[in-house]
Amino acid sequence: MKILIVEDDIKISAFLEKGLIEENYIVDCCYDGEEASYLITTNSYDLIILDLMIPYIDGITLCKKLREQNNNTPIIMLTAKSSIEDKVTGLNIGANDYLSKPFSFDELIARIKVQLRDGKSLTNVLQIDDLKLDSDKMLVTKNDKEIKLSSKEYMLLEYLMINKDKVVTEEMINSSLWNMDAQTASNIISVYVYRLRKKIDKDSDIKLIHTIRGMGYKISQNNEV
C-alpha cells in the first residue's frame, strides 16, 4: 500500500515516514500543496495524510480540488487546529478522517487501516479458498496452518489478495510496493512470485497464484485463467 504524506514540518514528516515504513507501507513525502498536487496527478496512492496548514495550496483547498476532480483517494487530515468548526469544514469538503496534533501514532495507524479496509468487509482478514491473510496480526495461514513469509513476500501476497481475481501488472506491483527501476522490479517480482508459489501452492490441487502471459499475475481459485 502506498501513502503520500503532505506535511511541511520536516520532523513530523520524517517521524511519520519512518513509522509507516516500519509498518510495511510505501511512503512518499512532500512539504507543500503544489508539490502534492503534482505527485497525486502523476502517481497512484492508496491514502493521503494531509496537513491543513501547508504552503502555496492549503490542505482544505487541495482536498476540495481533488474531490472536484473525482479523486476519491482516502484523505486523513492532520492539523494543530482542534475546533469542531475546523473538523466539520474538513469533513464537509471531502476528508475521510481528521486528527488533531499532537496525536498517537498507534491511533493514526488504526485510522489508516479503517480507511484502507474494503468497505464491504467488517474484518481485516482476506481469504481465497483455504488461504487466509490477517492484516492486523500479519498472519498468513493455509488450511489453518501458518505460512512463514518474509516482509516482501507478505506485501506481495497481500496486494494480490486485495486484487483477487484481477490481473495486476509488474508496473502496478512495483508502483504500489517498491518503486524500483523497471528491470530490477521485474526480476525481483518474478523471484517473489516463485517463492510464494512454493510456499502456498506446493502439494495443492488448486493452484492460486497464476502468471498471465504478457500481462502480469493473478490470484484466483479458478485454474483456467
**pLDDT tens-place values along the chain, 225 residues long:** 899 999 999 999 999 999 999 888 889 999 999 999 999 998 889 999 999 999 999 999 999 999 999 999 999 998 876 556 666 776 778 888 888 888 889 889 988 988 887 444 445 788 999 999 987 778 999 989 999 998 889 989 988 998 889 898 988 888 777 767 777 888 889 999 999 999 999 888 889 999 998 899 999 987 655
Decide whether 2-116 matches 125-219 in CATH topology: no
Which CATH code, of 2.60.40.10, 1.10.10.10, 1.10.760.10, 1.10.287.3510, is assigned to 125-219?
Answer: 1.10.10.10
pTM across the whole model = 0.61
- Distance, in Å, from the CA atom of 215 to the CA atom of 37, rounded to the nearest integer, reads 30
Note the CATH number of domain 2-116: 3.40.50.2300
Query: Is the distance from CB of 87 to CB of 98 less than 8 angstroms?
Result: yes
- Distance, in Å, from the CA atom of 34 to the CA atom of 32, rounded to the nearest integer, reads 6
Burial tier of 178 (Cβ tally within 10 Å: 0-12, 13-18, 19+): middle
- Taken in order 126, 111, 192, 167, the sign of the CA dihedral is positive
Q: Where in the chain are the domains?
A: 2-116, 125-219
